[in-house]
Amino acid sequence: MPHFARPRAGAFLASIGAALLVLASAADIRAAEFDLVEAHTTTQDHPYTLGMVRFAQLVRERTGGRVIIQIHHSRQLGDERQVVEGLQLGTVQLTVTSTGPLGGFVPEMNALDLPFLFREASHAYKILDGEIGRGLLDRFEAVGIKGLAFWENGFRHITTSKTAVERPADLKGLKIRVMENRVHQAAFRQLGADATPMAWGEVFTSLQQGLLDAQENPIPIVSTFKLYEVQKFLSLTGHVYSPAPVLVSKRAWDRMPPDIQRILLSTAVEVAKIQRQLNRGQEDKQLAELRVKGMTVIERPDRSAFREAMRPVFEQFEGQFGKGLVRRIVETK
């Protein structure tokens, strides 16, 4: 019975002693033909986890128990880059991740992080669920990873500890955590901020200790990671739409028969719609809760000013991600 390798001990296995979210009994796991270890960084109540739970349930049902997915949330097996590297090594078989570290594996993925690339969520879905999105996912095969589908992280907004951000000038001199992503770093440096790339596991403590003034993320991250405890202001800039690719270790993928592969692929695409609905459904409720928790929400920052201020970064990078890729995205109606 070909079970996949379990994660090895060592630095990669951050917090391996943490409780696992397992959707089957030990007997079910032993009986499964394929036991897939899944890992991601967000909390148990985040839409990543909720979507993965639904995915695991459907895959188990549709394969008649041949495939069991064990879900490890909250950085139990490491930060995003570590988990993606684990896919290449075969120590992890499955993840849902932000685009933050993915440019280091597939440079064209950084195109999705250009500021104000997508007009609204429906524009993003049309691109990501279509030919362009599939082409980006297929590029992962060259680095030992199979891309299944794009789920959702959401539109990113800015939080700060002392200064309400209503226009680009309000960020000048602020030390803001950004993803380990050259486009994000360049965009915030263009605004005059001290853009500081940092692994997510270090961010809360750095905000708490005053080593950072600000960070940027979708509302579900702000809420589920309790950033209201260390940040006073939330500015709804929506400067970047962040998808969340679902990726599989190619070592694992190549060992599975075509019928199992088809089920995994089609189910990941189907659950994308469910996971996005969960994400959007949480946002309005969480925004109200953040206000109750004491955050001041700037609902209408000058987004036009942010778009104009970040335009040089858009123009700097748009030609670096393959011939016409960014133009094709922008011109899609």
Pairing assessment for the beta strands 94-96 and 145-155 based on DSSP bridges: unpaired
Q: Where are the alpha helices (DSSP H) in 153-230?
A: 182-190, 203-208, 219-224
Predicted pLDDT at 284: 87
Predicted pLDDT at 24: 62
The chain-wide mean pLDDT, for the chain, equals: 91
pLDDT tops 70 at residue 13: no
> Could you tell me the pLDDT band of residue 96, with boundaries at 50, 70 and 90?
very high
Q: How far apart are CA 87 and CA 59, in angstroms?
A: 19
**What percent of the chain has pLDDT above 90?**
85
CA distances to 232, 294, 313 from 211, rounded to whole Å, are 15, 21, 26
pLDDT tops 50 at residue 9: no
pTM of the predicted structure, to 2 decimals: 0.90
254-278: average pLDDT: 97
CATH 3.40.190.170 residue ranges for the chain: 21-152+243-282, 157-240+286-331
Give me the phi and psi of 90, to 5 degrees please.
90, 5
> Could you tell me the pLDDT band of residue 18, with boundaries at 50, 70 and 90?
very low
Question: Domain 157-240+286-331 adopts which CATH fold?
Answer: D-Maltodextrin-Binding Protein; domain 2 (3.40.190)
> Could you tell me the pLDDT band of residue 8, with boundaries at 50, 70 and 90?
very low
Question: Domain 21-152+243-282 adopts which CATH fold?
Answer: D-Maltodextrin-Binding Protein; domain 2 (3.40.190)
Query: Helices 258-292 and 47-62, interaxial angle, to 10°?
Result: 150
Predicted pLDDT at 321: 86
130-155: average pLDDT: 98
